[in-house]
Amino acid sequence: MSFLDTILFAILLIIGFGYFAINVKKLIRNIKLGQDIDRTDNSSQRWKNMTMIALGQSKMVKRPIAGFLHIIVYVGFVIINIELLEIIIDGLFGTHRVFSGLGSLYNFLIGSFEILAFLVLVAVIVFWIRRNTIKLKRFASSDLDGKPRNDANYILYFEVVLMSLFLLMNAADFHLQNVVGGFGHYHQAGSFPVSQFIAPIFDGMNNQLVAILERTFWWLHIIGILCFLNYLYFSKHLHILLAFPNTFYADLNAKGKFDNLESVTKEVKLMMDPNADPFAAQPVDDNSIPSKFGASDVQDLNWVQLLNAYTCTECGRCTSACPANQTGKKLSPRKIMMDTRDRLEEVGINLDANKGVFVPDNKSLLNDYITTEELWACTSCNACVEECPVSISPLSIIMDMRRYLVMEQSAAPQSLNAMMTNIENNGAPWQYNQMDRLNWKDEN
């Protein structure tokens, strides 16, 4: 590489990683808009969850075919990009295959990368067919119409192009390594179990032209990687990075355990204490009294829920397992997460436009994105939480928004209001006199 090439490469890296850093900063700021919550307990279990679920893909393989293909793409893409380190060093210092001095280990690594690249291509093609030809039900849902469906395909195209460029680059390199008498700096280095079958396309070409093509593939490969890196922020594939913190900070409580508001708990205890004076002034703890009960917008959710929204893979496993959705109701847990992320992004854009200060836009997550019909369709069965491959909890968002409807707006469905009235008046969900509560024992 010439000195000019080295300078251009350095500028390319600075722009690529710099823009990525800017977006990561925005991402962290948006997540921190959420309410504080402590998720530092039981660190050993948290590390285990992250290792098993995010790294080990343990929940993905519950559906064996999709899980196996996903592991190929996941492992292949991560390992192949180890080669990025060699590309960066070669680009900055003008070297060529700087790690080739590792000898047989280098041959093994390049050979492994090629086999993985080929397997990734096969897996990606299968994924494309499942989405666009077979059209599996969970991928054909209307909540994926428009950008989400296109986004999924763009990522598949990205991966096909990147793997193809990697193999073409190696094929051209392999061809030049085997030129009789040698050619330039293309010395014997690496093992090419896949690209050696592609190399014959360069037979009969001028060696200088093949060298130009090799450099072109090399440049397009690194540019493609940087473009992919920066596209992640705008894509559902942000889960490639966020799956790790998301599984670490996931709720470790038993599924179905509902968190109690301290202020409400104190009020109930006061009401149930026969020795308490209801007219006595109670000490006020500002930290225990929330400014709002439940959530109507993204700022009312906690930061882990906002992290969940950004981590959502849009795979639809949650929705396909949802009994409400299966019976034709409007609820889609996947849409709940997508709507939360879209609203959070809208709030982030508002902050960017107003120098970090949120200017009320007369919108909210409730009603403008998620309807009350969706919220009350939920059976709170936790199927969505159980199915999620990266430990996301759509149910926690649904329950917080329901809490807002009930405690702030008294807007529960009529049937639920009737049940709560019966509990208040009769001590049971059914409408009968308290004097009749024990009549059932006399029925036999």
3-state secondary structure 360-417: CCCCCHHHHCECHHHHHHCCCCCHHHHHCCCCCCHHHHHHHHHHHHHHCCCCCCHHHH
Q: What is the pLDDT of residue 433?
A: 74
Q: Tell me, what amino acid is at 13?
A: L
What mean pLDDT is predicted for residues 223-238? 92
Q: What is the pLDDT of residue 287?
A: 56
C-alpha angle with apex 151: 145 to 156, nearest 5 degrees? 125
141-166 pLDDT, tens per residue? Answer: 888 888 888 998 999 999 999 999 99
Largest CA distance in the chain: 104
pLDDT above 90 (res 339) = yes
H helical segments located in 178-287: 207-231, 239-248, 262-272
pLDDT above 90 (res 200) = yes
Phi, psi of 370 (to 5 degrees): -115, 125
274-301 pLDDT, tens per residue? Answer: 777 666 655 555 555 567 889 999 999 9
101-119 pLDDT, tens per residue? Answer: 888 999 999 999 999 999 9
CA distances to 13, 21, 116, 242, 350 from 25, in Å: 18, 6, 32, 14, 16
Q: What is the pLDDT of residue 278?
A: 61
Q: What is the pLDDT of residue 416?
A: 84
The span from the CA of 285 to the CA of 184, in Å, is: 76
**Which CATH topology does 262-434 take?**
Fumarate Reductase Iron-sulfur Protein; Chain B, domain 2 (1.10.1060)
Q: For the chain, what are the domain ranges?
A: 3-31+63-248, 262-434
Please, are residues 373 and 335 in contact by the beta-carbon 8 Å criterion?
no
pLDDT-derived band at 45, boundaries 50, 70, 90: very high
Mean pLDDT for all residues in the chain: 89
Tokens for 103, please give them.
């000898």
How many Cβ atoms sit within 10 Å of the Cβ of residue 294?
A: 20
